[in-house]
Amino acid sequence: MIALLKTGGAGKIFGRMLDLFSGRKHGEIDRELPFAVMMFTTLAASGVTMYESWKKMRDVHLLPGIQKDAEDIVRQVEVLGYDPLTVMHRKADEATSKTYQDFLAGFVSSVRSGGNVVSFLKSKLRSILEVQSASATRSIEKLGTLVEAYAVMLIVTLCTYILYVVISSTSIFELSLSGAATSSAPQPFVYVLIFVIMPSISVMFMIAAHKARKSNFISLVAVYRKIIVPVVSASAFLSLVLFVPQVRFITEIVNLPAIFTICLIAVSVPSALAYHKIAVVNLAAEDGMPSFLRDVTEARKIGLSPVKSIIHASKRRGYGRFSELLERIRSQIEWGVALKKIFANIRRKIQSWPVLVHFFILVETIQVGGGSATALEILSDYSEKNRDIEVNKRSLLRPYIILAFIWSVLIALTTTIVALTIYVLAQVSLPGMAQPSFEVMQQQITLFSIGIILQCWMSGFFIGKINEGTFAAGFKYSSMLAATAYVSLVLSQHFLAGLYTLGST
């Protein structure tokens, strides 16, 4: 019924509404389109028609947006009896992605005019690669702007902290000198500022980064599950230290910011180790896959069969950790395991989306078209260009990691130096100041130290998303930034204490 409505007079409007309510966005299609066009091109070079390629796309779960269109196209052709070119022309009219629309409309026009389909697909694939490269450059600029905006937000945070320290300290001095009673705890607004407002702003920037930067990893649920037990344990320990008098003596041995830092690092480390284990294997696969495909292509050109070409390419050394996976693939082929089964085994080991798509296209090219040298040449060329784009993106985004450590140090140093300077000046200028007033100032310094450490810890997830495309990468950055902030706080306190001692003498 839905397919019938989408092909009617009001079908275009209904189709757009259906895509909108199903959560489908043109960004998903734009991301999947290069891989889909590459598969269409390699299959066409192997003698497979476009409609048969669409039928095969129904089983490609790695490309959900294209898979959905493939199911709809096949349904309209086989159930409603429409011509495949007519259906693709209608799909072009309904497409929200300009690149996808041009691809479908161009293909229909090429076929109807009697053009060479393979030549058109190669040309369109080349054009899409150029657009993708330019888009990657623009996305880096957008991410750079986002990081700069986040740095400005941290500067505003720093100014807010300093302003509040100055104003609250002035109020404490006036109350102490007038003989009025001084509250023994910081104002509630401080807690709202440190633990609600500032973290909420960081979360907003993380959401923006999530929309701007997509991860190549398919599923990292196991990494996020690692955080559950440490979070519960750290929360329970902090609750005991803060609210149970019998356990509060721990704060006399280890100060509260140090305890808070240890808890945050303990929360991050298990997930950071789990992600590192996954990232090392998958990044090695992303770097080694283009070289492997090139070796397969060159072996195929000299006359080896597709399967023997894979065996020959897998014997080469120099792939790093990717060689371990290739050795498994070679042993399974030698034992007579089908390529489809081998691909299913690969999916259990690899979570990199581009690597899996390239493996899938390699398997389909060999099983459907016999793995012609022309088709494999197209696949290896695209894989190499895609790797170059990703390597360039990672190298351009890497400096932002250094920027994160710089702002962590500056926030910790500046806020602490201002707070401690006011505290020291109060001791020198107002020797008769009431002891409770100094205790309130000490509590404020401790509270702001905790807030700075928390803010730096959260910024690690933002940087992880910006640099590697996934929040799971933020666990290692968050732990390092939290430790950096705490060390900066301690050094600033000792530095100022040394200056105060020197001034007194």
The pLDDT mean for the chain works out to: 79
pLDDT value at 337 more than 70: yes
Q: Which residues of 268-278 are buried (b: 16+ CB within 10 A; e: fewer)?
A: bebbbebbeeb
Q: Take residue 363 and report the two structure tokens written for it.
A: 């398997």
Cβ–Cβ under 8 Å, residues 108 and 85: yes
Q: Cα-flanking dihedrals φ and ψ of residue 60, to 5°?
A: -90, 90
Report pLDDT for 430: 59
Task: Indicate the DSSP class of residue 217.
Answer: B
Q: Token pair for residue 27? A: 């960004």
DSSP category for residue 61: T
Closest CA to 261 of 73, 101, 460, 464: 460
Give 478's pLDDT tier (boundaries 50, 70, 90). Answer: very high
Residue with tokens 């076929």: 111
For 111-157, the pLDDT digits (tens) are: 888 778 888 888 888 888 777 777 777 888 888 888 888 888 888 87
3-state secondary structure 322-376: HHHHHHHHHHHHHCCCCHHHHHHHHHHHCCEHHHHHHHHHHHHHHHHHCCCHHHH
Residue 186 and residue 237 in contact, taking contact as beta carbons nearer than 8 Å:
no
Give the pLDDT confidence of 44-84 residue by residue, as tens digits: 887 788 888 888 888 888 888 888 888 888 888 888 888 88
Are the C-beta atoms of 405 and 481 separated by less than 8 Å? Answer: yes
Give the per-residue pLDDT at 175.
55
User: Could you state, in order of their start, the residue ranges of all structural domains in the chain?
Assistant: 2-115, 141-278+395-504, 282-385
The per-residue pLDDT for 9 is 42
Mean pLDDT to the nearest integer, 206-222:
86
Higher pLDDT, 446 or 463: 463
